[in-house]
Amino acid sequence: MGRRWEVDEADWERVRGKIRGLLEEAAGNGSWLVYSDIVTGISELAGPDSHAFHEMLGEISADCHASGLPLLSALAVYKGTYMPGLGFYRAAKSLGLDVGASHSARYDFWWRQVELCHEAWRRR
């Protein structure tokens, strides 16, 4: 079996599931998580800048969108800014969502996803 970035293929789904579980818990609590806190304790990932980690966030976004749910990856943010990275907007655009062109429009798109996540997972 091969590897995807630094993660063994055999571990990929389990690790992604763990990340999704953390994001779902944050959504249910009406909060969000910084990248470094998400990867803490996940030994398979090389840290918050890991390509595997960010690919998994994109896959989680795609799974949510396919299920008619808001993008859980909106709850994964940088420590200093409490905003998502550019990968969040790229993933959303790749799913056909209109993230807007201006900083203000992107902020509004992101914040709406955060609110929708909190609403959706509080009801679960």
Helix axes 103-122, 86-94, angle to 10 degrees: 80
The pLDDT confidence band at residue 3, using thresholds 50, 70 and 90, is very high
pLDDT of residue 1: 75
* pLDDT surpasses 80 at 12: yes
pLDDT of residue 36: 97
Q: Are 121 and 27 in contact (CB under 8 A)?
A: yes
DSSP per-residue letters across 80-112: TT-S--HHHHHHHHHTT----SSHHHHHHHHHH
- pLDDT tens digits for 33-86? 999 999 999 999 999 999 999 999 999 999 999 999 999 999 999 999 999 999
pTM of the model: 0.95
Task: Give the residue carrying structure tokens 């976004």.
Answer: 61
Nearest CA to 76 out of 68, 67, 85 is that of 85
* pLDDT surpasses 90 at 123: no
Question: Rounded distance, CA 101 to CA 94, Å?
Answer: 14
* pLDDT surpasses 90 at 28: yes
Mark out the alpha helices in the chain (DSSP H runs). 9-28, 35-39, 51-66, 86-94, 103-122
- pLDDT tens digits for 73-121? 999 999 999 999 999 999 999 999 999 999 999 999 999 999 999 999 9
Question: Rounded distance, CA 60 to CA 91, Å?
Answer: 10
